[in-house]
Amino acid sequence: MLKLTERLGPIAADQATDTLTLPYERRVLGRLKATSDAGSPLGLFLDRGPVLRDGEGLRAESGEVVRIRAAVEPVVTARIAAGLPLARLAYHLGNRHVQLALGEDEDEEGGWVRFPPDHVLEELATLLGATLVHHEGPFDPEPGAYQQPGGHAHGHGHHHAHDHEQHHAH
């Protein structure tokens, strides 16, 4: 088994000897056993916290490099006008403590917020004026301000997408 122990950050596809395609829920784990896309057994032995990003490289103890790929999985893309409508949508969805991917439409007149299917989030997005599209695609959410280069990891004690009050003592 190839033991992957070092994060390399984003790498070009030709820098890797193999790839590992994982859904988001498995890219949040620091320890796991998996099979590479070429069929090789792998073990991840990484620091906990940062999510494995699409395009990130991992180095094995023996020197081989494996590139992470975000798996295609069910997602909802909520499209809305740029500016305040997009900011409001991102704010209210983010206030539900869920992971979100953000993007801009090619015409730059609108943007989108992507999240895993969830009826409560979908209803909220619709109420805020978004048009929803259910489809299959990679889910590679924003890493968060504390996981940007130069930042530090900041653990947050929950990961869910249902509607209830939450009280935090930060």
Per-residue pLDDT band for 145 (boundaries 50, 70, 90) equals low
* Domain 72-145 CATH class label: alpha beta
Burial 141-160 (b: 16+ CB within 10 A, else e): beeeeeeeeeeeeeeeeeee
Count other Cβ atoms within 10 Å, centred on residue 8: 14
Q: What is the pLDDT of residues 27-83, one digit of tens each?
A: 999 999 999 999 999 999 998 878 899 999 999 999 999 999 999 999 999 999 999
pTM above 0.85, yes or no: no
Per-residue pLDDT band for 151 (boundaries 50, 70, 90) equals very low
- Secondary structure of 126-154 in HEC code, one letter for each residue: HHCCCEEEEEEEECCCCCCHHHCCCCCCC
Burial 27-40 (b: 16+ CB within 10 A, else e): bbeeebebebeeee
Q: Do domains 2-70 and 72-145 have the same CATH topology?
A: no
Rounded Cα–Cα distance for residues 24 and 8 (Å): 19
129 pLDDT higher than 50: yes
Domain 2-70, CATH homologous superfamily name and number: Urease metallochaperone UreE, N-terminal domain (2.60.260.20)
pLDDT top residue among 154 and 139? 139
Count other Cβ atoms within 10 Å, centred on residue 9: 9
> What's the pLDDT at 109?
81
> What's the pLDDT at 142?
87
Domain definitions of the chain by residue range: 2-70, 72-145
